[in-house]
A and B are shown apart, each in its own frame.
Chain A
Amino acid sequence: MTDEEISTEILLDHYRNPHNYGQIEDANEKLIEFNPVCGDTVQITIRIENDVVTDIKFIGRGCSVSQGSASMLTDKVKGMNIGEIKKINQEDILNMLGLKLGPSREKCALLSLNALHKCISNHEKKTHGGN
């Protein structure tokens, strides 16, 4: 198997049997991100305590790249503090997937990261927003 084939297999495994699938009842943030071009959808619920992500779940619908990356990303960020999460960028996600994606598929890969960053930003506004 080539590296690319292994990465595809890992992604498909996440797609078929997503990790952290569902929603958290006592979440402090909840957000739906939607890609109007292809209809890919991811909802993230997240529990943040003292700036650390103690739990995160997602529900979604879409292609293997959008859903598989949501599954992998939620695994990755559990236990991280929000400062670290804010530093995760496009390149990190593409490295995490390990697949050569064309520009049209990169948007699918970044859907859940965008949702997560918006959750963090909303959370910061509430807790550190000065109101």
Chain B
Amino acid sequence: MLSWQQIKGDFPLLINKGKNLIFLDNAATTQKPKQVIDAIVDYYTNWNSNVRRGIYRLSEEATDHYEKSRENISNFIGSSDPRQLAFVRNTTEALNLLAYSMGHNLHEGDEILLTIMEHHSNIVPWQFLQEKGVKLKFADINEDGTLDMEDFRNKLTRKTKVVSVTHCSNLLGTINDAAELAKLAHDNGSLFILDGAQSVPHMPVDVEKLDCDFLAFSGHKMLGPMGIGVLYGKYDLLNGLPPFNGGGEMISQVYTDHSTYADAPEKFEAGTPNVEGAIGLSAAVDYLRNIGMDEVRSHEKDLISYTLKKEEEHHIDILKSYGPRDMEKRGGIYTFNLGEFNPLSMSEGLINEQIRVGSNVHPHDVATGLDSSNVAVRAGHHCAMPLTHRLNVVATSRASYYIYNSREDVDLLFESLEKIRRLYA
């Protein structure tokens, strides 16, 4: 049985900071184990050269490392063919690629079905298509923060060409039933895209079992380096998409008046790729596989259920938290407010309401207060403004867990929240 405390010892930054950092902003990015840092250093120390085009051994070796990384990550998500993975910068770029490339085949009146719990990266790229008359629809949530399946079914129509949904909400922690949503989409003749930014790092994800057509995720949220992400697509679907960026590597032949393109995944990897990133992400995948994704998931499940238990024990009068309390549907994300600030209607609200803040503590003050106890959390709208407004608040504070967090971190979070509550009372 592995020790979570031992795991913490693999992370140089966490060792250096010691008690001065309780890092609870893992939904934003994660710290890196020395195995990942070493892999990147090893690449630059021993293998660095441009991939694919060099007709010399060093370049061939670099290419080999790059492609082996693709294969390793492909296996990790249950993809049987590494050509189904294109390396991109992050989830955001993967979703922009999809919206742009799929947009060529979308027409006025076509619909895209999203949910109200999407990150901005799964909303804004699709909004660009509104210019050509494509319509966006948003499935709502239930009171408990789960997806309103009835609303989803109602909004899935004959016109729905694409369904793009987050696997796990970065704000509510809600885990959506991806397999069920994929089935509904496919039965309707729609393509199904899964935003795996908050799921691939935290739980077993098997693209073939889930039957998603496309999956997007980021390396830096799963112990890997920044600037590397993955777009997975079923091979024929991925290869069938028009290219996104043009340039070197993605072409077959170039003439002055036209070009022909390489097959996927090269087709979507214009320019010199982030080789260091791919190798670092592959090392992160090895690290996670060594722990076991089932173990990762149970550790986080333990932390979030412990969090909700502490919440009830401390019973801070003005504390309100969001998201499902059924642990099967909840990832390791705890979003809350110490008193809610509701959005203002600028035209009338200020003047008519004579607003007083009372003892409510603004999320910015919560985050600053926690920071003074060395607890790092995120405060704001978490790149999910539509969801924040749906919850009728201007902002929230969020603690999000990963493998190196412990129950002691949760204890400290609540002790610090008590302190802040007293300070503002």
Shortest beta-carbon distance from A109 to chain B in Å? 11
Interface of A is mostly: mixed
- Whole-angstrom distance between the alpha carbons of A105 and B379 in the complex? 12
Contact B423 A67 (CB under 8 A): no
CB within 8 A of B344: which of A15, A41, A63, A67? A41
CB within 8 A of B380: which of A38, A61, A62, A64? A38
Contact B346 A37 (CB under 8 A): no
Given known pairs A61-B344, A105-B364, the reply for A43 and B350 (CB within 8 Å) is yes
Shortest beta-carbon distance from A75 to chain B in Å? 18
- Whole-angstrom distance between the alpha carbons of A19 and B201 in the complex? 49
CB within 8 A of A15: which of B341, B346, B357? B357
Contact A63 B351 (CB under 8 A): no
Contact A65 B364 (CB under 8 A): yes
- Whole-angstrom distance between the alpha carbons of A38 and B362 in the complex? 10
Shortest beta-carbon distance from B78 to chain A in Å? 39
Question: Which residues of chain A are within 8 angstroms of B112 by Cβ–Cβ distance?
Answer: none
Q: Looking at B357, B359, B364, B380, which has the most chain A CB atoms within 10 Å of its CB?
A: B364
Contact A67 B354 (CB under 8 A): no
- Whole-angstrom distance between the alpha carbons of A11 and B317 in the complex? 23
CB within 8 A of A59: which of B355, B361, B380, B395? B355
Contact A32 B346 (CB under 8 A): yes
Contact A64 B362 (CB under 8 A): yes
Contact string against B for A residues 98-113, beta-carbon threshold 8 Å, 1 for contact and 0 otherwise: 0000000100100000
Question: Which residues of chain A are within 8 angstroms of B424 by Cβ–Cβ distance?
Answer: 12, 16, 64
- Whole-angstrom distance between the alpha carbons of A32 and B346 in the complex? 8
Shortest beta-carbon distance from B353 to chain A in Å? 9
Shortest beta-carbon distance from B202 to chain A in Å? 27
**In the complex, which residue of chain B has the Cβ closest to the Cβ of A30?**
B351
Contact A63 B365 (CB under 8 A): yes
Given known pairs A37-B380, A39-B341, A64-B362, the reply for A12 and B351 (CB within 8 Å) is no
**In the complex, which residue of chain A has the Cβ closest to the Cβ of B425?**
A16
Shortest beta-carbon distance from B25 to chain A in Å? 13
Question: Which residues of chain B are within 8 angstroms of A61 by Cβ–Cβ distance?
Answer: 341, 344, 350, 355, 357, 394
Mark out the residues of chain B between 373 and 398 whose CB falls within 8 Å of any chain A CB in the assembled complex: 380, 394-395
Q: Does B292 sit within 8 A of A, measured CB to CB?
A: no
**In the complex, which residue of chain B has the Cβ closest to the Cβ of A99?**
B368
Q: Does B248 sit within 8 A of A, measured CB to CB?
A: no
Q: Does A23 sit within 8 A of B, measured CB to CB?
A: yes
Contact B346 A63 (CB under 8 A): no
- Whole-angstrom distance between the alpha carbons of A38 and B343 in the complex? 11
Question: Which residues of chain B are within 8 angstroms of A32 by Cβ–Cβ distance?
Answer: 346, 350
Contact B362 A23 (CB under 8 A): no
**In the complex, which residue of chain B has the Cβ closest to the Cβ of A101?**
B368
Question: Which residues of chain A are within 8 angstroms of B341 by Cβ–Cβ distance?
Answer: 39, 61-62
- Whole-angstrom distance between the alpha carbons of A32 and B362 in the complex? 19
Question: Which residues of chain B are within 8 angstroms of A41 by Cβ–Cβ distance?
Answer: 344, 346, 350
Contact B344 A12 (CB under 8 A): no
Question: Which residues of chain B are within 8 angstroms of A65 by Cβ–Cβ distance?
Answer: 364-365
Q: Looking at A60, A63, A64, which has the most chain B CB atoms within 10 Å of its CB?
A: A63
Contact A59 B362 (CB under 8 A): no
Contact A59 B354 (CB under 8 A): yes
- Whole-angstrom distance between the alpha carbons of A65 and B365 in the complex? 8
Question: Which residues of chain A are within 8 angstroms of B355 by Cβ–Cβ distance?
Answer: 59-61
- Whole-angstrom distance between the alpha carbons of A73 and B28 in the complex? 35
- Whole-angstrom distance between the alpha carbons of A114 and B344 in the complex? 20
Contact string against A for B residues 208-249, beta-carbon threshold 8 Å, 1 for contact and 0 otherwise: 000000000000000000000000000000000000000000
Shortest beta-carbon distance from B342 to chain A in Å? 9
Question: Which residues of chain A are within 8 angstroms of B361 by Cβ–Cβ distance?
Answer: 64
Contact B395 A38 (CB under 8 A): yes
Contact string against A for B residues 333-362, beta-carbon threshold 8 Å, 1 for contact and 0 otherwise: 000000001011010001100110101011
Contact A62 B350 (CB under 8 A): no
Given known pairs A15-B357, A38-B380, A105-B368, the reply for A63 and B362 (CB within 8 Å) is yes
Interface of A with B (CB < 8 Å)? 12, 15-16, 22-23, 32, 34, 37-41, 43, 59-65, 67, 105, 108
19 pairs across A/B with beta carbons < 8 Å?
A: A12-B423, A16-B359, A32-B346, A32-B350, A38-B395, A39-B341, A39-B344, A39-B394, A39-B395, A40-B362, A41-B346, A43-B351, A59-B354, A60-B355, A61-B344, A61-B355, A63-B363, A63-B364, A64-B362
Beyond the given pairs A41-B344, A59-B351, A61-B350, 4 more chain A to chain B contacts, judged by CB atoms under 8 angstroms and listed by A's residue number, are A16-B359, A39-B395, A59-B354, A65-B364
Of all A-B residue pairs in the complex, the 10 with the closest CB atoms, nearest first, are A39-B394, A63-B362, A63-B364, A63-B365, A43-B350, A64-B365, A59-B350, A61-B355, A41-B344, A38-B364
